[in-house]
Structure 1
Amino acid sequence: MTRTAAAFWLDSPGHGVIRPVDLPEPGPDDVLVRTLFTGVSRGTETLVFQGRVPRGQYAAMRAPFQDGDFPGPVKYGYLNVGIVEEGPAALLGRTVFCLYPHQTRYVVPAAAVTEVPPSVPAARAVLAGTVETAVNALWDAAPLIGDRITVVGGGMVGCSVAALLGRFPGVDVQVVDADPARAEVAAALGVGFASPEDAHGGRDLVVHASATEEGLARSLELLRPEGTVIELSWYGDRNVPLPLGGDFHSRRLTVRGSQVGTVAPARAGSRTHADRLALALDLLADPALDALVTGESDFTELPGVLPRLATGALPALCHRVRYGTPR
């Protein structure tokens, strides 16, 4: 008898539905996972939901277990935590993280799941993909002890970067965001906060994650001579002007892109994607990171929740989706 599950699909830009899906029979090297929680990344996922993936980026933006194609119908997502119900004995009953979309149960190769450490609650483990992005960004940025560092953009990715930077000895970390409500999150993470107008200047390093041209311009203004901006924002189909006049050349500033699709060059020879994800999960033992989850809803509510997240009507850093009885 064919087993089924329920999955969230982007039917067309701006419109999502929950559909039944047939599950394949697990092979000897597969696992059947029952989902406990998924997370919605407000940056990438809302751009996908709005149909704003540029045609030239369809292949690069494809999620590991995506079904369908951009702009839709497409099953998209990559922050999934569940329990292994069938599979190799070593994984049975284990809580695992997988780069899988929003679906009640699923079958994947056992190698595609990463066991969540006992020190990390399943509800917090949905942040693993975002903390992995932050790990990669810091491998690219290579901060030094005593650095003065600003993170422009206090969203899910920016706050994850700030949380990890706050653990570096002697580093002065300031989150800059136009939303004063982000000050509370920064305080929970143990880092400073400022509005764009009041941000500290003379910074050794600025990590930009606001996905706005104003944020990128302000990032350049905050640097000391020969400082570097690490650009984490993904702009979808928008063209973003970059102010390269003024002090850009005379102060010898640098803008360097970083993204999680490949392991940062500084670690590519010694770390794999699996190593990076395992490190991210270990780092999630810190309960302060619970501050990054700012909303929660049931899986059945997702078709109504994602439009509100995409427009900003429902503000959130990471929005967590909880799953009841599997279907």
Structure 2
Amino acid sequence: MKRLSLYFSGPEEVEVREEKIEPPRGDSVLVENEFSAISSGTEMLFYLGRIEEDTIIDKGIGGLEKKFDYPFKYGYSSVGKVKEVGKEVSEEWKNKLVFSFHPHESRFITKTDNLIPIPSGIESEEAVFLPSIETAINLLMDGRPLIGENVLMMGQGIIGLLTTSLLNEMPLSSIVTSDRHQLRREMSEEMGAELSIKAEKNEEEFYLDDGLPDSGADLTYEITGNSDTLERAIRLTGLEGRIVIGSWYGDINSEIKLGTQFHRKRLKLISSQVSRINPEYSGRWDKERRLDLAWEYVRNMDLRKLITHEFSLKEAKKAYNLIEKDRRKILQAVFKY
């Protein structure tokens, strides 16, 4: 039996390899992938090689718990069906639609502990959004938006759009967003933003004239992946406001002024990362409960409209090049097997 596997072989270099795999044995199963989602944030940092030395690729995904070094497989949003099972696995797993935090490849052998059965009524294309929605939920839990607050969202990629949608369900005074790309801004307003502004050097005047009160935002999310945006977030956030940083900047260095604006306004900078739940919630929340909530949003949101591009795995180079060079036209790209 053979499979196609995607390898990151160097900065801005990917290759698809044909590999031989054995049938599942013992407590293992064979999953044939249907879709896997490409992350335009973290995954693109790995594609570009913009990762600090000695970084563990991903501590939460089996097979990726190793230091960043080429070549390696990557990806963490795969949806497929169980086609074969080992002798120690119940036949009930056969043909079950499952999600896995697994790299991009056409089929793979794994244990059922690494699979999440997809609830009925959810299609394969929708299920690939599970990690992104889980991340958006975590951003809300870390930011703790309050009734009547003015919220600023900087960055409307997939994570930003989904976070905007979740915020729209809350009784806030306003949700103002920004992004460089028109397609994202239009989708942002469709998903609940009161106003979405083109991100540019003088964007502050637009925020204060048309969107935010003169006192600034109560809560700001920085999800652009651009470390320079953090300084603008500091200027636009009001007295004793919170700034939640959902971006991973990789090895990119940036000078950020933590002077008068930051100091006198007593701002709070909050790092948000989905692999951990805020310890303050640990008595009531765990990974399983957060995933259950994420599935509810997967079921109830119109997610397929966010998929703008589908590629075969053999078109991987074309896919990553498009995401890197021309994000104006793209929201979510997926591999279809």
TM-score, length of structure 2 as denominator length = 0.87
Match of 1:66 in 2: 64
Tell me the distance in 1 between the aligned counterparts of 2:305 and 2:102: 23
Following superposition, the deviation at residue 67 of structure 1 comes to 8.6
Which is worse superposed, 213-222 or 4-13?
Answer: 213-222
Q: Which residue in 2 is equivalent to 1:303?
A: 317
Q: Show the counterpart of 2:266.
A: 252
AA paired with 1:94? K
Return the alpha-carbon distance in structure 2 between the equivalents of residues 191 and 245 of structure 1. 31
- Equivalent residue for 1:194, pick from 173, 179, 197: 197
Cα pair 1:203 1:224 within 8 Å, conserved:
yes
> Structure 1 residues 315, 68: CA separation in 2 closer, same or farther (over 3 Å shift)?
farther
Greater percentage in helix:
2
Partner of 1:225: 239
Please point out which of 297, 318, 323 is paired with 2:332.
Answer: 318
Gaps of 5+ in 1: none
Q: Distance in 2 between matches of 1:276 and 1:4?
A: 35
Greater relative CO, 1 or 2 (CA 8 Å, sep 6+): 1
Instruction: Give ranges in structure 2 of 5+ residues lacking alignment.
Output: none
Residue of 219, 230, 237 corresponding to 1:205:
219
- Matched residues in 2 for 1:191 and 1:89: separation? 47
1:269, CA displacement in angstroms? 3.5
Distance 1:173 1:56, change over 3 A: same
Q: Summarize the Cα distance change of 1:165–1:285 in structure 2 as closer, same or farther, 3 Å threshold.
A: same
Measure how far apart 1:62 and its partner are.
7.2
55-64 or 173-182: bigger deviation? 55-64
- After superposition, the Cα gap between the structure-2 partners of 1:173 and 1:91, relative to the gap in structure 1 and judged at 3 Å, is farther
Note the 1:130-149 alignment, pairs <5 A. 130-149=132-151
Contact 1:163 1:289 in 2 (8 A): no
Cα separation, 2, equivalents of 1:247 and 1:142: 22
Q: Distance in 1 between matches of 2:73 and 2:328?
A: 22
Equivalent residue number for residue 157 of structure 1: 159
The secondary structure found in structure 2 opposite 1:54 is: coil
- Bigger drift between 163-172 and 227-236 goes to 163-172
Q: Distance in 2 between matches of 1:100 and 1:244?
A: 39
Q: After superposing the two structures, state which structure 1 stretch, 43-52 or 171-180, moved more.
A: 171-180
| 1:282 Cα offset (Å) | 2.0
Matches within 5 A, 1:1-327: 3-58=1-56, 63-66=61-64, 70-87=68-85, 88-170=90-172, 172-192=174-194, 193-196=196-199, 197=203, 198-199=206-207, 200-201=211-212, 202-312=216-326, 315-323=329-337
Shift of the alpha carbon at 1:186?
Answer: 0.9
User: What are the superposed Cα offsets for residues 74-120 of structure 1, whole Å, 9 maximum, x if unpaired?
Assistant: 01110111111123333322211110111111111111111222232
CA contact (8 A) 2:158 2:331 kept: yes
Cα 1:218–1:308 shift into 2, 3 Å: same
Say which SS state the counterpart of residue 83 (structure 2) adopts.
strand
Distance 1:251 1:26 in 2: 59
Contact between 1:207 and 1:229, CA under 8 Å: does it hold in 2?
Answer: yes
Partner secondary structure for residue 21 of structure 1 = strand
More displaced 10-residue stretch of structure 1: 12-21 or 163-172: 163-172
**What is the distance in 2 between the residues matched to 1:206 and 1:290?**
27
- Structure 2 distance, partners of 1:47, 1:188, is 28
For residue 304 of structure 1, report the CA deviation from its aligned partner: 2.7
* Whole-angstrom distance in 1 between the partners of 2:241 and 2:148: 15
> How far did residue 268 of structure 1 move?
3.0
**Quick one: distance in 2 between partners of 1:251 and 1:242?**
16
Superposition misfits of 4+ residues, deviation over 4 angstroms: 59-63
Gap change, CA 1:108 and 1:279, over 3 Å in 2: farther
* Cα displacement string for residues 111-155 of structure 1 (whole angstroms, at most 9, x for unaligned residues): 111122223221121111111111111111122222221110111
Amino acid at match of 1:194: I
CA-to-aligned-CA distance 1:128-184 (integer Å, 9 cap, x gap): 111111111111112222222111011121112111111123452222113233222
- TM (normalized to structure 1)? 0.90
Q: Equivalent pairs: percent with the same residue?
A: 28
Residue type matched to 2:324 in 1?
A
